[in-house]
Amino acid sequence: MIEHQRTRRQSAHLGPSHPLAEVASRHCDHLAFRLGGVACGVCWERAIRDDERVVVEHGLSREVEPDPEFVDEIAVELACRGQRVVLTPVETRAAVVRLRSRQLLPDAIARRLHLSYAAVAALLGSDSVPACRRAA
């Protein structure tokens, strides 16, 4: 029973939201039990050890502080092409501004980025929204 609980707790941590889940999944073509539905224990271990090796070899920090202003330009471009991509608020604003600079109107931007018109209007500010839409 204790072993079963331990396995369940580990698989909750070693699941799809783990930073190395994609790497572990690519390594794993085994038919064994997959921790967290992602990869077997051997492949999780390989992904974790490989990651640690890179950190040590390149003198990287183990704790990474995400930059709240970082913009993934590839994600923004994919979103601007109409693909459904998860964007941070900063990336969403960058995508809206990019499409507006391409002369797209707010309603077209909203459709392209799968956002509401109100969200696009808020990001652009009232100067960019046609007067007939502002009154509504």
| pLDDT tens by residue, 85-100 | 999 999 999 999 999 9
Are 77 and 51 in a shared domain? Answer: no
Beta-carbon count within 10 A of 62 CB: 8
Per the structure, the count of domains in the chain is: 2
pLDDT of res. 12:
58
Per-residue pLDDT, 13: 79
Tell whether 111 and 85 lie within a shared domain: yes
Q: Tens of pLDDT along 64-85?
A: 787 889 999 999 999 999 999 9
State yes or no: pLDDT of 5 exceeds 50. no
Same-domain status, 46 and 84: no
CB 34 within 8 A of CB 40: yes
One domain, residues 17 and 44: yes
| Domain membership of residue 37 as a residue range | 2-57
Helix (H, G, I), strand (E, B) or coil at 39: strand
pTM for the full predicted model? 0.54
Whether residue 63 is contained in a domain is answered as: no
Question: Is residue 44 in some structural domain?
Answer: yes
Residue 25's identity, in one-letter code, is S
Listed residues 16, 31, 57: the one ending a domain: 57
Q: Is residue 136 part of a domain?
A: no
Same domain, 51 and 89: no
Q: Give yes or no for residue 110 having a pLDDT over 70.
A: yes
SS3 content of the chain, % helix, strand, coil (to 5): 60, 0, 40
Confidence of residue 62 (pLDDT cuts 50, 70, 90): confident
Residue 119 lies in a domain: yes
7 band by pLDDT with thresholds 50, 70 and 90 = very low
Average pLDDT of span 112-133 = 80
64 falls within a domain:
no
With bands split at pLDDT 50, 70 and 90, how would you rate the model's confidence at 36?
Answer: confident
Give the separation between CA 43 and CA 14, rounded to whole angstroms. Answer: 11
In a domain, 11, yes or no: yes
d(CA 110, CA 49): 43
